[in-house]
C-alpha cells in the first residue's frame, strides 16, 4: 500500500492547501481499498474487535447518555409552545420522536462519537507510528494494518448503531420528562403516540446510516494515525485533523443518504 505523503507547511499557500486536499482524498481512497482487501483475509481479529467494541462503548457511554437526555428534553420543551399555539400538543410525541429517530439522534451521536473516538484512534495509531511500533510489527511478520486498522474500523461500524439506538431511547425519556413538566400527558399515551407515529421508513434507514458513520469515524481516525509523521507534533495533528475530517464527511454523507432515503422511501418525504 503506497499512500501519498503529505507535507505539512506552517505557512501554506492556497496551492499547498489544494494539493493537501487532493492528496488526502487520494490517500483516503487507497486506504479504503486496502481496508476492503484486508477485510476478507484471515485471520479475523475477533478478540481485537470485541476488545475495541467494549472500550469504545465504555468511552462514549456517559457522554452520549447526557447528550441524548438533553436532546430529547430540549426538543420537547422547544416544540411545546409552538404546537400549543396551534392547539396541537397531542402531536408532540410524534413530532419529537420522528425528529430524534430520523435525524437528530443518528447525526449527533455520530458527531460526538467522532469527537471522542476518531481523535483517540488517530492519537493512538499515530503515536505507534512515530515510536516505530508499527514498523516493529511489520518486521515481526505481523500485518499491522489488519491488527490495528481493520479491527478498529469493524468495531466502530458495529458499536455506533448500538449507541444510536440507546440514544434514541434516552432522548425519548428526556422528552417525556419535559412533557410531564409542562403538560399532564400519561406515559402510556406518550408511548402509544410514539409507536403509532414511527414507520419502517423512519427507523431502519436511520440506523443503517449509522453503520456508515461508524465506518467513517474508524477509517478516518486510522488513516490519520497510520500516515502520521513528524514526532509528537504529528500525533497532535493526526488527532485533531481526524475529528475535523470525520465530522465533515459524516455531514456530507448524511446529506447524500437522506436524499437516497427519500428517493427509496418516498412515503417518508
Residue ranges in contact with another protein by CB under 8 A:
127-128, 131-133, 135-136, 138-143
Q: Report the nearest approach of another protein to the CB of residue 20 (Å).
A: 17
Tell me, rounded to whole angstroms, the distance of Cα 19 from its chain centroid: 27
Give the position of cell 488517530: 122
Q: Report the nearest approach of another protein to the CB of residue 138 (Å).
A: 6
Residue closer to another protein (CB basis): 90 or 135: 135
Give the position of cell 470525520: 246
Residue closer to another protein (CB basis): 31 or 73: 31
- Quick one: which H or E segment has residue 20? helix 14-39
Residue closer to another protein (CB basis): 84 or 135: 135
Residue closer to another protein (CB basis): 16 or 138: 138
CB of 202 closer than 8 Å to CB of 102: yes
**C-alpha cell, 233:** 507534533
Q: Report the nearest approach of another protein to the CB of residue 263 (Å).
A: 42
Q: Report the nearest approach of another protein to the CB of residue 115 (Å).
A: 22
> In angstroms, what is the C-alpha Rg of the chain?
21
Classify 49 as helix, strand or coil: helix
Classify 151 as helix, strand or coil: helix
Residue closer to another protein (CB basis): 26 or 131: 131
Q: Report the nearest approach of another protein to the CB of residue 6 (Å).
A: 14
Amino acid at each position: 500500500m503506497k499512500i501519498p505523503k503529505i507535507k505539512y507547511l506552517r505557512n501554506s499557500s492556497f496551492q499547498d492547501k489544494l494539493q493537501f486536499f487532493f492528496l488526502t482524498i487520494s490517500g483516503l481512497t487507497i486506504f479504503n481499498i486496502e481496508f476492503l482487501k484486508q477485510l476478507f483475509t484471515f485471520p479475523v481479529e475477533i478478540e481485537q474487535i470485541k476488545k475495541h467494541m467494549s472500550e469504545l462503548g465504555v468511552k462514549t457511554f456517559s457522554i452520549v447518555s447526557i447528550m441524548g437526555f438533553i436532546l430529547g428534553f430540549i426538543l420537547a420543551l422547544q416544540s411545546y409552545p409552538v404546537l400549543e399555539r396551534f392547539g396541537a400538543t397531542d402531536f408532540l410525541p410524534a413530532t419529537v420522536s420522528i425528529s430524534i429517530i430520523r435525524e437528530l439522534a443518528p447525526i449527533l451521536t455520530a458527531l460526538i462519537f467522532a469527537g471522542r473516538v476518531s481523535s483517540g484512534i488517530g492519537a493512538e495509531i499515530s503515536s505507534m507510528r512515530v515510536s516505530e511500533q508499527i514498523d516493529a510489527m511489520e518486521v515481526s511478520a505481523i500485518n499491522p494494518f489488519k491488527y490495528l486498522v481493520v479491527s478498529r474500523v469493524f468495531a466502530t461500524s458495529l458499536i455506533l448503531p448500538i449507541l444510536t439506538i440507546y440514544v434514541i431511547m434516552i432522548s425519548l425519556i428526556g422528552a417525556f420528562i419535559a412533557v410531564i413538566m409542562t403538560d399532564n400527558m400519561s406515559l402510556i399515551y406518550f408511548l402509544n403516540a410514539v409507536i403509532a407515529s414511527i414507520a419502517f421508513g423512519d427507523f431502519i434507514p436511520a440506523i443503517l446510516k449509522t453503520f456508515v458513520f461508524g465506518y467513517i469515524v474508524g477509517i478516518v481516525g486510522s488513516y490519520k494515525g497510520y500516515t502520521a509523521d513528524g514526532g509528537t507534533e504529528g500525533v497532535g495533528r493526526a488527532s485533531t485533523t481526524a475529528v475535523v475530517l470525520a465530522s465533515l464527511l459524516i455531514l456530507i454523507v448524511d446529506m447524500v443518504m437522506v436524499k437516497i432515503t427519500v428517493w427509496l422511501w418516498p412515503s417518508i418525504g
